[in-house]
Amino acid sequence: MSDTATHDRSALDAPAAPTRPSRLERLRDSDLWYSFRSHPSAIFAAVLLGLVALTAFLAPLITPQNPYDLAALELWNAEIPPIWNAEGQWPYLLGTDTQGRDILSAILYGSRISLIIGSCSVLVALAVGLSLGLVAGYVGGWVDNVIMRVGDVLLSMPFILIAILITAIAAASLPPSLKDVLAAPILIFAIAVPSWVQYARTVRASAMVEARKEYVQAARLIRVKAWRIMLHHILPNCMTPIMVAATLNFGLAILSEATLSFLGVGMPPDQPSLGTLIRIGNQYLFSGLWWIVVFPSIQLCLIVLSVNMIGDWLRDALNPKLR
Amino acid sequence: MIAFLLKRAANAAFVMLAVALLAFVIFRFFGDPVEMMVNEQATQADRAELRERLGLNDGLVTQYTRFVTNAVQGDFGISYRNQQDVMVLIKERFPATLELVLVATVISLVVGIPLGVITAVHRNSRLANVLQLGSIVGVSLPSFVVGILLILAFSVSLGWLPGFGRGETVNIGWWSTGFLTPSGRAALILPSISLSTFQVTLVMRLVRAEMLETLRTDYVKFARARGVPTARVQWRHALRNCLMPVITLTGMQIGNLIAFALVTETVFQWPGMGMLFIQAVTFVDIPVMAAYLMIVSFIFVALNTAVDITYAWVDPRLRDDTARAGGANG
């Protein structure tokens, strides 16, 4: 109805009224895009992350070998140093490990796993945190109390400890045949459990404020369903801090996954993430095979660094005080 | 104030009971404790006898109460793996972890505070920008990667410093210290640097933010107007007012550092609590896992509560408990 109204009015003074810009045009016109363009570090980070993601997801097409395919590994190709070394060999740009696995291929496949686990755990934490936070703030009472108390307890244990305990318990209680298959879902769960609280707290705070405002009271009066009020009216009002937190937590999630895999409670060696590769490489630290451990480490740092740079930029760009 | 104290103490006690419940559930329901303790030849009667002796036939509430009472008295049971008292194992390893954490904390303050002041005072200078970028890099470097690279550079290539172990230690009572021998001190250097990287950037960013705010206040401007040298204003007058939040952060982060030390300890084969925990995880040695969880959480909760109470003591406005400082995560 409101649509036709505006349409009619714009039809009346047609020459002056601009047509409603498309989504892309609005994006190009926004403050956020302007801020992005004027921050070289943000552009650099976005390009870097884009490149990493692209090469990771195209890994099967561009890598010289499939590092998981044991049949493709030849032992006489083992321990080849990087290509710029005198003993380097094409196509093993970054050398091979002790089983003849191409390091570059392993890194690209590993990045894929790291990125997937990182993003999935942020999405799960967001889904859980936003819904519990909305319910706690909107409904209040004992529901609120229970949810926030559980959150308090989770926050009073160090993040990494909770994640290790979850993976350890899962590993101990699952049959060995399922353990490797479920390694990725377990990791996603283990990282999401300690991280939903932050979102829930943020959303709860603004849900409590919004729930008392007149437009929400009005919506209640005309019997708009509670979940609709929460999702369409309250949630959009607190998306800014959530977006910043989610970006920074994406970096933290990748870091946590790598740490867990490095400690040996994460991805198994036959489907290695970057952390697993570093764990494997760490065993050869003292035997001069530095490339096995250094290159996956660099890749991990580049991913987390670019995510953090984007998060930092986003936090400043969306902070009204700094405008 | 007394009401506030009681409230915070009750809060902390509730959290610890919840952590204990978690530890108890893990202990009781993941793997049968009796099967873990007896050897293969044990008869059915032996098992039943052990089950009775451990009190596993009692009601769950009784068992949980006993678990908590024992834990309060420092009795966490017997390790499944090497049949030793868990508390003895942890007591043996605790000094190594604490010394590591203390040195890392000192490094983070000694390096982080000056860097923070410099980036705030020379804002927008090239040096400040480089340091600022460096701080993002510091946050993004996983501590185990820092550790591995340090070992690669200083132990493997240059051979200057030891890359694993704790060196020689001296016992003072039950406390074994590495501070008193040259090899013990050398062994501390690389692990504590790697543990402190994240912390340094945290302190640096906090000091910078606080300094930027303080430098704008009237008393700083007045001191300048009075002719106090600029450096003195910055490093004495302004910095002093920025230190309270830094102390808070440092206090709260010690708990996190103790937990995070388990990563550093794994990299450097450092014989601390964290290594004990990781080994316990590998061998599903549940009493050790439960004890570690409860001890680290206790330190964490105790420090947070102490910081909250200190704050309320210093600033009475915080006593009505409406704005509790959000817990640290990291």
For an interface test with B, the pick among A150, A165, A260, A300 (most B C-beta atoms closer than 10 Å) comes out as A165
Mean pLDDT, residues B224-246: 79
Higher pLDDT residue, B261 or A41? B261
Range with the poorest average pLDDT among A279-283, A297-301, B198-202, B292-296: A279-283
Mean pLDDT, residues B302-322: 73
| DSSP string of A180-247, one letter each residue | HHTHHHHHHHHHHHHHHHHHHHHHHHHHHHHHTSHHHHHHHHTT--HHHIIIIIIGGGGHHHHHHHHH
CATH number for the segment(s) A39-60+99-296? 1.10.3720.10
Mean pLDDT, residues A120-139: 90
Please report the pLDDT score of residue A126 as a whole number. 92
- Reported as a single tens digit per residue, the pLDDT across B140-189 is 888 888 888 888 888 877 878 777 777 777 777 777 777 777 777 778 88
Q: Which two tokens stand for residue A3?
A: 């649509």
Range with the poorest average pLDDT among A173-182, A294-303, B87-96, B318-327: B318-327
- Reported as a single tens digit per residue, the pLDDT across A66-84 is 777 666 666 666 666 676 6
Q: How many CA atoms does the CB half-sphere of B193 hold within 13 Å?
A: 15
Mean pLDDT, residues B275-288: 84
**At A26, is the pLDDT very low, low, confident or very high (cuts 50, 70, 90)?**
confident
Q: What is the ipTM of this complex?
A: 0.80
Which pTM was predicted? Answer: 0.82
Q: List C-alpha distances in Å: B144 to A119, A293, B98, B168.
A: 22, 11, 18, 24
pLDDT above 50: residue A186: yes
**At B323, is the pLDDT very low, low, confident or very high (cuts 50, 70, 90)?**
very low
Mean pLDDT, residues B252-267: 87
For an interface test with B, the pick among A41, A147, A162, A164 (most B C-beta atoms closer than 10 Å) comes out as A164
Say whether B140 and A305 touch across the interface (CB within 8 A): yes
Mean pLDDT, residues B80-97: 83
- Chain A contact for B19 (CB, 8 A cutoff): yes
pLDDT above 50: residue A320: yes
pLDDT above 60: residue A100: yes
The mean pLDDT of chain A is 79
Q: Which two tokens stand for residue A211?
A: 């729930």
Say whether B144 and A251 touch across the interface (CB within 8 A): no
pLDDT above 80: residue A59: no
Q: Which two tokens stand for residue B3?
A: 């009401």
Cβ neighbours of A262 (radius 10 Å): 27
Q: List C-alpha distances in Å: A115 to A63, A85, A207, A246.
A: 18, 30, 31, 14
Chain A environment of B137 (Cβ under 8 Å): 301, 305
**At A93, is the pLDDT very low, low, confident or very high (cuts 50, 70, 90)?**
low
Please report the pLDDT score of residue A123 as a whole number. 94
How far does A230 lie from chain B, in Å, by closest CA? 24
- Checking DSSP bridges between strand B175-177 and strand B170-172, what pairing results, if any? antiparallel
Q: Which two tokens stand for residue A256?
A: 């946590």
**At A120, is the pLDDT very low, low, confident or very high (cuts 50, 70, 90)?**
very high
Cα(B79)–Cα(A5) distance, integer angstroms: 76
- Reported as a single tens digit per residue, the pLDDT across B32-76 is 777 777 776 777 777 787 777 777 777 778 888 888 888 888 777
- Chain A contact for B198 (CB, 8 A cutoff): no
Please report the pLDDT score of residue B67 as a whole number. 80
Cα(B279)–Cα(A98) distance, integer angstroms: 26
pLDDT above 70: residue A111: yes
Please say whether the beta carbons of A297 and B153 come within 8 A: no
**At A39, is the pLDDT very low, low, confident or very high (cuts 50, 70, 90)?**
confident
**At B330, is the pLDDT very low, low, confident or very high (cuts 50, 70, 90)?**
very low
**At B328, is the pLDDT very low, low, confident or very high (cuts 50, 70, 90)?**
very low
Higher pLDDT residue, B113 or A36? B113
Give the 3-state secondary structure percentages of chain A, helix then strand then coil, rounded to 5.
75, 0, 25
Cα(B164)–Cα(B94) distance, integer angstroms: 18
Indicate the residue type of A293.
Answer: V
Say whether A157 and B300 touch across the interface (CB within 8 A): yes
Please report the pLDDT score of residue B173 as a whole number. 73
pLDDT above 90: residue A121: yes
Backbone φ and ψ of A82, nearest 5°: -55, 160
Please report the pLDDT score of residue A76 as a whole number. 63
Q: How deeply is B304 buried, as exposed, middle or buried, from its count of CB atoms within 10 A (0-12, 13-18, 19+)?
A: buried
Cα(A278)–Cα(A288) distance, integer angstroms: 15
Backbone φ and ψ of B155, nearest 5°: -100, -50
Please say whether the beta carbons of B325 and B305 come within 8 A: no
Sign of the four-CA dihedral A219, A221, A223, A225:
positive
**At A152, is the pLDDT very low, low, confident or very high (cuts 50, 70, 90)?**
confident
What is the distance of C-alpha A288 from the center of its chain? 34
Say whether B140 and A301 touch across the interface (CB within 8 A): yes
How far does B41 lie from chain A, in Å, by closest CA? 23
- Reported as a single tens digit per residue, the pLDDT across B271-281 is 888 888 888 88
**At A172, is the pLDDT very low, low, confident or very high (cuts 50, 70, 90)?**
confident
Please report the pLDDT score of residue A13 as a whole number. 47
Q: Which two tokens stand for residue B162?
A: 């030891």
